[in-house]
Amino acid sequence: MTAAQCIRRIYRTNGLLGFYKGITASYFGISETVVHFVIYEAIKAKLMAYRSGQPTDSKSSRDFLEFMMAGAVSKTIASCIAYPHEVARTRLREEGTKYRSFWQTLATVAQEEGYRGVYRGLGTQLIRQIPNTAIMMATYEAVVYALTKYFGSPATEFYTADDAASSMTSHSDMIISRPVEEHELAQ
């Protein structure tokens, strides 16, 4: 079956809404990303606070290994919390199924297969996601560090122990004050 044949078949069978089956479950998938980043930043802040006595102007391989571990732990927790949306999304996209909505799908799976059914495939998901996320987060931190070192922008430095202890300055405050700081540096 070609892509064009598939598109025609979906449209013929389910109309325009057929292209959006499972989209509600995908929206619930956003919660996994939110949980992951909240936990990652909390772990990173704890690591920075733990090392408050050490200089923060350079990073070692240990730092990036810690970022990898923080990414792996946070993604594992987030995936375990939000995984049922993957099951619902997959089931909703099956052709000619009894599944009609996100919550109805989760209830049906839980009723027919038990709560283990709601988490079916989680092991495979974790094997795929954990290494990927660990590498991604360490790479992200390495790029941020390299760009910070290259451009020397004090507004984008890594967290310090003070930042970890008191997150009083919001991101919008940094954005609003940054042009003034750059202007002052240019003079």
Cα–Cα distance list, 85 to 94, 135, 171 (Å): 14, 24, 30
With respect to residue 108, please indicate whether it lies within any of the assigned structural domains.
Answer: no
Residue that is written with structure tokens 């970022």 in the block: 67
With respect to residue 115, please indicate whether it lies within any of the assigned structural domains.
Answer: no
- Give the confidence band of 124 by pLDDT, cuts at 50, 70, 90: very high
With respect to residue 100, please indicate whether it lies within any of the assigned structural domains.
Answer: no
Token pair in block for residue 99 = 């599944």
pLDDT at 180: 42
With respect to residue 156, please indicate whether it lies within any of the assigned structural domains.
Answer: yes
Residues 17-45: tens digit of each pLDDT: 878 877 878 788 889 999 999 999 999 99
Spatial distance between the Cα atoms of 155 and 96, rounded to a whole number of angstroms: 54
Any idea what DSSP says for residue 159? Answer: P
User: Do residues 74 and 134 touch, judged by C-beta distance below 8 A?
Assistant: no
With respect to residue 99, please indicate whether it lies within any of the assigned structural domains.
Answer: no
Spatial distance between the Cα atoms of 139 and 145, rounded to a whole number of angstroms: 10
pLDDT at 53: 67
With respect to residue 93, please indicate whether it lies within any of the assigned structural domains.
Answer: no
User: Do residues 43 and 74 touch, judged by C-beta distance below 8 A?
Assistant: yes
Token pair in block for residue 83 = 């995984």
pTM score, two decimals? 0.67
Q: Which domain holds residue 145?
A: 23-83+121-186
With respect to residue 149, please indicate whether it lies within any of the assigned structural domains.
Answer: yes
What is the distance of C-alpha 111 from the center of its chain?
30
pLDDT at 126: 95
With respect to residue 74, please indicate whether it lies within any of the assigned structural domains.
Answer: yes
Cα–Cα distance list, 183 to 74, 124, 136, 154 (Å): 38, 51, 34, 13
Residues 135-160: tens digit of each pLDDT: 999 999 889 888 988 887 655 445 55
Residue that is written with structure tokens 């993957």 in the block: 86
User: Do residues 87 and 117 touch, judged by C-beta distance below 8 A?
Assistant: yes
Residue that is written with structure tokens 């995936």 in the block: 79
Number of compact structural domains in the chain:
1
